[in-house]
A and B are shown apart, each in its own frame.
Chain A
Amino acid sequence: MEALFYIFSVIAIVSALMVILVKNPLTSALYIILCFFALAGFYILLNMQFLAAMQIMVYAGAIAVIIVLVIMLLNLAKIKGAIKDFHQIVISIIAIGLLALEVILYLNAAGEKKPTGIYTNAVINKIGNTQIIGEFLFTKYVFPFEVASILLLVAVIGAYIFAKK
């Protein structure tokens, strides 16, 4: 398990770096698919197989395909000057490096917290991963679920209005 964790970490971090470093947006889109697959591997290690399948179907399947389709429609492969000037890059790297350092320091300083829920891995595996998520979605979280469907409807209408001539 440890070896798998390190393999997935290296793949995820390197492919995330390549997403922001390569020039061609199409190559970026392919690298982000690789990153999504590595994150799906993390979800399987964390005993959430349903979320891993959703990650691959929704992100690597749907969203990445939409991005590649738009890149094809707009003929964006030969855009020039894809990166900002030197001064701005240095300031950005320092700011983001400080952010990462602060979060990691906080994680190291944070105290232990006792697990509060009852859904250990054994319980989840006994009931079934998909079934337990479905039960939560349709009982405790049914109102956010309905709001999410309205949000998707609004997004469809908005995308149509933006993209139509």
Chain B
Amino acid sequence: MNVNDYLIVATIIFCIGALGVLIRKNLITIFLSLELMFNAANLGFVAVSEYLNLISGDIFVIFIMVVAAAEAAILLGIAIAFYREKGTINIDDANELKF
């Protein structure tokens, strides 16, 4: 397969993830959409790295996985703290900074 086909699939998945971040209110679903965007970026890295006969892209995917795992721990900690404060995880209730 051509590298462009992989990149088009990665683009579509990235855009679906970005759309999910924009239209959903549920904090958990927004987090899942962020994971979709991470994975689309990973697919792009691996496809280009295979096309150019390099290894660097594959190494970067491993580091992105590390960042995604750290982000998962932090964001779910925030979700638990937010739920304890508000009793919901609807992000429209996060309005303390509104004036």
A complexed with B: yes
B97 at the interface (CB under 8 A from A): no
- Which residues from A are CB-within-8-Å of B19? 20, 92-93, 96
Q: Tell whether, in the assembled complex, residue A67 and residue B76 are in contact, meaning their CB atoms are under 8 Å apart.
A: yes
Of all chain B residues, the one with the shortest Cβ separation from A129 is B58
Q: Which residue of B lies closest to A99 (CB)?
A: B15
A23 smallest CB distance to B (angstroms): 9
Interface string of A59-77 (1 = CB under 8 A from B): 1001100110011011010
Q: In the bound complex, how far is the Cα of B62 from the Cα of A138, in angstroms?
A: 13
Bound-state CA distance A119–B46 (Å) is: 13
Give chain A's interface secondary structure class: helix
Number of interface residues of A (CB under 8 A): 84
Interface majority SS on B: helix, strand, loop or mixed?
helix
* B22→A104 contact, CB < 8 A: no
B23 and A92 contact, CB distance less than 8 A: yes
Complex Cα–Cα for A55 and B56 (A): 17
Flag B75-98 by CB within 8 Å of A: 1 or 0 each. 011111101100011100000000
* Chain B nearest Cβ from A57, distance in angstroms: 10
**With the chains together, A87 CA to B62 CA distance in Å?**
39
Q: Give the residues from 1 to 37 in chain B that come closer than 8 angstroms, CB to CB, to chain A.
A: 1, 4-9, 11-13, 15-20, 22-26, 28-29, 31-33, 35-36
Which one, B33, B66, B88, contacts A19 given CB within 8 A?
B33
B51 CB contacts on chain A under 8 angstroms: 115
Against B, the Cβ 8 Å flags (1 = close, 0 = not) of A77-110 are 0010111100011001101110110011001100
Name 8 A/B residue pairs within 8 A (Cβ), A-sorted: A67-B72, A70-B76, A74-B80, A79-B89, A82-B25, A92-B22, A99-B15, A107-B4
8 shortest interchain CB distances as A-B pairs: A162-B77, A20-B20, A155-B70, A159-B77, A117-B53, A92-B22, A117-B54, A159-B73
